[in-house]
Chains A and B, each alone.
Chain A
Amino acid sequence: MRQHEIDGGARRAVFSPVDSRARVEAVVRRIGDAIELGLLADGEQLPGESELAGQLGVSTVTLREALMALRQQGLVTTRRGRGGGSFVSLPEVPADDRLRARLLGWSTEELRDLGDHWAALSGAAARLAAQRTEPADLQPLRRTARELAHAAEAAARGRLYGRFHVELAAAAQSARLTREQVALQSEVGAMLCLVLADDAYREEVADRHRFLLSAVQDGAHETAGTLAERCVRESTARLVAVRLTL
């Protein structure tokens, strides 16, 4: 028996209510990103249609449209009959191409807004963490910063980048900021692989995280907040730049 069902944070966010007006797109994006991030594993069965629709807060009609779009993208297969249902399937297309297709689902305005939300969360978290942490509390963040500096695969880099910002919110001692950050990373995390594949940029992010940690440790809360915002804005700006080439 493998332990791979719903975890406390990121995976639960996958199935939390969707509130966008473009509901079909939002469902497609949410589930698609979860598959790219590996939060939903290849071959895993999705909950039943009515259950999944209920969890996401959308009608079953909306959910069916979304599942159809996911089938067209090759991310979900549906089997009929006994033992049937919708299953996660990772197509044989290179991950990079799938991520580009995913990024194409975002407008530059939506990416800009995502960056604003992320900067607000991480900036606030950095300011609070600088006031509320002592050095021992920063060990998880230091470990993540170290691992990011050495991670070879783009997917691992994306996960570690996300973990750093979740740990920053936890260092702020805020369960709400942490939950928001986990949910946000389930949206942005997969796409960040596209910009973190570049070794030079990965180095830059690792440096920015180190400077940020120094400011948090020194209790320099305004500096820490500004550094966190800059780091996040630069990453979203790079994503927008990639989006404009598509």
Chain B
Amino acid sequence: MGVSPGLATVATEPEAWVAAQVGGALEAVFETVAATRADTAAVLHRVAAEGRRPASRDLAALRPGLHLRLRHERLVSGVGFVADPGLLADVPAWLEWWQSGADDAVHPLLLDLDPRRSAYSDYTHWDWFALPRDTGRRAVAGPYVDYLCSDEYSLTLSEPVQVQGRFAGVVAADVYLRHFEAAVLPLLRRLSRPARLVNARGRVAASTDPAQLAGSLTRGPDFGELLGSGRPGAYEGLRLVPCRGVPLVLVLA
């Protein structure tokens, strides 16, 4: 169902400000992703220049940067490069993925990627992999239960990596929803009306409305269309303001 521009074409000051701040918070995470992409592309180009296929050990060069970003970007709890299956010469699939634990230490994620043993060996259908691969653009996946990597309710921000015109995999960063909520709730609380942030499919990512909590769906408006237009809208008494640069919409009851 379409969204009418109507009276809401111009977002009033506090709503536009909050939407911009939310966009800014995630933009900082995307900077982490972009830095990882630059490192990954550099490694893969260097290996290509040596006239050979990359191997999993080449990706160890990413570790200092990944550890640094995990320690310094407070919203990020996991970061790394996920290879397109077939990219590496020595293994069929690979995640060079690091996570910060409860003890603030940094740990590698070691998955069983052998399809003979694991029902979860194929990661290519997850939104955080498929969206950037299929669109060629950066993406925000979730909120979703990440039972592959962290067992946490999460947002994953990802970008495709291209080497010599070919898709090589994605770089990504995990933001646990509880950390995202801690970052955006003070912003949403400044608004005079109950407010929530929803993704392109209407899934609530954070909310000050007890009747519309994270994980629920806001049905009706076409949030994808609204995000495409980049302009505020209205839907049956709801005011809808897209967040700048990220696929989230601020919804005010």
Contacts and interface: CB of A to CB of B under 8 A. Distances in A.
Interface of B: 56-57, 90-91, 94-95, 109-114, 116-120, 125, 143-153, 201-203, 214-217, 219
Sorted nearest first, the 4 A-B pairs with minimum C-beta distance are: A173-B215, A38-B117, A5-B110, A159-B119
A131 to B, nearest CB: 8
A143 interface: yes
Size category of the A interface is: 35 or more
Interface stretch (A75-83, A95-103, A163-171, A223-231): A163-171
Nearest to A11: B112
A147 to B, nearest CB: 9
Interface string A41-55: 100000000000000
Nearest to A41: B117
Contacts of B118: 7, 38-39, 159
A166 to B, nearest CB: 6
A236 interface: no
Given A1-B56, A3-B112, A7-B110, A170 B120 contact: no
B145 A4 contact: no
Given A41-B117, A134-B201, A4 B110 contact: yes
Interface string A142-179: 01000000000000000110110010011001110011
A8 interface: yes
Interface string A175-217: 1001100100000000000000000000000000000000000
Interface string A1-40: 1111111111110000000000000000000000000110
A132 interface: yes
A160 B216 contact: no
Contact of B148 (A9, A136, A179): A9
A85 interface: no
Contacts of B146: 8
A162 B119 contact: yes
A38 B201 CA distance: 36
Nearest to A4: B112
Contact of B145 (A2, A41, A169): A169
A162 B118 CA distance: 11
B117 A39 contact: yes
